[in-house]
Structure 1
Amino acid sequence: MASFSENSMNVYILFTIIFGLGFLHATAELQKFTHTPKADGSLSFLVVGDWGRRGEYNQSDVALQMGDVGEKLDIDFVVSTGDNFYDDGLTSEHDPNFEDSFTKIYTARSLQKRWYSVLGNHDYRGDVEAQLSPFLRIIDKRWICLRSFIVDSELAEIFFVDTTPFVRDYFTVSEGHTYDWREVYPPKTYISTMLKDLDIALRQSTAKWKFVVGHHAIRSIGHHGDTPELRSHLLPILQANNVDFYVNGHDHCLEHISDNASPIQFLVSGAGSKAWRGDVQNLNGKDVHFFYDGQGFMSVQLTQTEADIVFYDVHGHVLHKTNSSKKELHSSI
């Protein structure tokens, strides 16, 4: 076990107090992190998911290309869609897997920004409180992982949702894994409170662009496919609150799918390491714009009027681009 100085322990205590009270401020019960947009008013970030394998399964190669793209786009931060550490999350705050799969892999200068991360189902198989602990920020100050929270840049708000407790199968013995459900029981109450807080936060949002990030898919044609519990309980809230994009991992692929009942675009970025070649269903659906069954990641560039989404493979090649536009509103006196 590593030893820490008195100053480090004081920092740990301070982080614990800050996170316990709510970092910066809160909307409903969701902690909010604030980003100031660039001088030109724009915002850019990368999205990667399902990555933590100590550099294996091309994780290091994806990280290298993320660094190059991050430099070109001058990114503001990175979003992780969960399953941050395989196979079973972290064992403690001192688990070397944190540094071996994160700190020592994402070393590019452009990636030394905040990493905003949600938990995936594999993370729930470990010590969840360890992965959520502000103590990890002493080891690597980039790391921010909470169950559900908001990133607010004025131009865009990104709402991070803890989707694993929605999935009923994870609570059954037959599923074959042990999950750390501390702070989740009873799940019905936990989910109800989470959805209420999200709905309030979305309704209060005045951001030009609204993103919701979770680990599990609402729509996917990959291995796991759609998550019925999210389609029933989460999707109606997103549709009612004019959400522009739902972003997730879980399926180890890259996808872009439209919603047939609203303007929501479903974006899957779960290809940070191990991919599932050929594991696809219903590829020819008219609402499926893009599917790729290899490793890669995604970038997002936002202005007041444009949202540019780009998917890259493990070599940094552009696989797919999509653009959404909004009119810029001008007020007159």
Structure 2
Amino acid sequence: MVNHLSNKSLFITSLLLNSVFCTFLVPVSSTLQRFHHHTNNNGSLRFLVIGDWGRKGWYNQSQVAVQMGIIADRLNIDFVVSTGDNFYNDGLTGVQDPAFDESFKYVYAAPSLQKQWYTVLGNHDYRGDVEAQLDPMLRKRDSRWRCLRSFIVNTDIAELFFVDTTPFVEMYFDDPKDHKYDWRGILPREVYLANLLKDLRSALSESKAKWKIVVGHHGIRTTGHHCDTPELVTHLLPVLEEHHVDFYMNGHDHCLEHVSCQNSKIRFLTSGAGSKAWLEANKPQDEKCGVKFFHHGQGFMSMKLTKNNARFVFYDVFGKPLHRWRTSLKKLHTSM
């Protein structure tokens, strides 16, 4: 559901525009860090997508992890994508926090899941020591862990652009209630967001990948508990549309969902059902968008890409396929 922008939102918009044109007043942003990941010998790319999971195995996190291991073995995945809210309820307390082992290392222990995990931060992660999740020390505890605020994973047939969406959301700054957020590295916020959007726009415009995938924590189009994120609809979505992004993947809503909208080739995919989930009625949505699939319970998603075709599957906590969808690159790019 897209809400009208508040006066404060318009003010932020003005700040973003001003910071773009007044870069001589602020530090110049650096380009997004890139990682290259080789595809399978047959040229395909296969990975799992999971979000909102870190609860020390509780709320069916361990059961989901077991099924992820089975599917990962069957697909011979290349890596795992985490859509954020990696450690509940309030992130990590530091690099030595045992929750890292209890919620990640020991839970996702299947041999087939001993692949690289590419991870973004969620709003719950920002409530703890956010720098801990970004610290290279965690890679010494488990070499799979790769977490940055925003970055790019380049493969032979696709590029995945990981975007730090939490700083976009005004509520966390203006009405945090009893929560405390770790904004180190973010302030001044308007400068951080302007630089992030500039870097993302530049990277997308330069991309020659057959498939462009953007990953963030918060939803852009969703009928889940949190609804659309107005700040992302205003600031991020136009960038994705302009540069012909194929998929936007997110967590935040503790569900599995597939949304498509008129006059857009972007597929909006929510995979935030890694542990605690709840049953509720779908929220209103933008009238130009339609829900192709929605599941309230725990689960995860798989994605397989070849040079010309894409296929994703949503699985429940028992590993049962709930929703399958496939398309060709040509069909997706001519559906606008």
TM-score (norm 2): 0.88
Tell me what 1:209 maps to: 211
Q: Cα RMSD (Å) of the superposition? A: 1.6
Q: 2:91 aligns with which of 89, 92, 101?
A: 89
Q: Which moved more, 1:316-325 or 1:294-303?
A: 316-325
Cα deviation, residue 113, structure 1: 0.3
Superposed counterparts of 1:144-163, under 5 Å: 144-163=146-165
Q: Is the 8 A contact 2:222 2:285 kept in 1?
A: no
Write the distance in 2 (CA, Å) between the matches of 1:28 and 1:176.
34
Write the distance in 1 (CA, Å) between the matches of 2:201 and 2:281.
34
Tell me what 1:184 maps to: 186
Amino acid at match of 2:168: F
Mark the CA change 1:188 to 1:97 in structure 2 (over 3 Å): closer, same or farther.
same
Tell me what 2:241 maps to: 239
Q: Is the 8 A contact 2:256 2:272 kept in 1?
A: yes
Write the distance in 2 (CA, Å) between the matches of 1:274 and 1:237.
32
Cα deviation, residue 323, structure 1: 1.0
Superposed counterparts of 1:42-121, under 5 Å: 42-121=44-123
Write the distance in 1 (CA, Å) between the matches of 2:233 and 2:79.
28
Q: Is the 8 A contact 1:30 1:148 kept in 2?
A: yes
- Give the secondary-structure state (helix, strand or coil) at the position aligned to 1:86: coil
- Give the secondary-structure state (helix, strand or coil) at the position aligned to 1:100: helix
Count of paired positions: 302
Tell me what 2:4 maps to: none
Task: Say whether 1:302 aligns with 2:299.
Answer: no
Amino acid at match of 2:304: Q
- Give the secondary-structure state (helix, strand or coil) at the position aligned to 1:151: strand
Q: Is the 8 A contact 2:259 2:292 kept in 1?
A: yes
Aligned-residue identity in percent: 60
- Give the secondary-structure state (helix, strand or coil) at the position aligned to 1:90: coil
Write the distance in 2 (CA, Å) between the matches of 1:287 and 1:36.
35
Cα deviation, residue 40, structure 1: 1.1
Task: Say whether 1:291 aligns with 2:294.
Answer: yes
Residues 176-228 of structure 1, C-alpha deviations (whole Å, 9 max, x = no match): 21000001001111000000000000000000100000000001101001000
Mark the CA change 1:277 to 1:284 in structure 2 (over 3 Å): closer, same or farther.
farther
Write the distance in 2 (CA, Å) between the matches of 1:122 and 1:130.
13
Write the distance in 2 (CA, Å) between the matches of 1:69 and 1:204.
34
- Give the secondary-structure state (helix, strand or coil) at the position aligned to 1:308: strand
Q: Is the 8 A contact 1:82 1:119 kept in 2?
A: yes
Q: Structure 1 unaligned runs (5+)?
A: 1-26, 329-333
Amino acid at match of 2:313: V
- Give the secondary-structure state (helix, strand or coil) at the position aligned to 1:266: strand
Cα deviation, residue 281, structure 1: 1.5
Write the distance in 2 (CA, Å) between the matches of 1:124 and 1:284.
29
Q: Structure 2 unaligned runs (5+)?
A: 1-28, 332-336
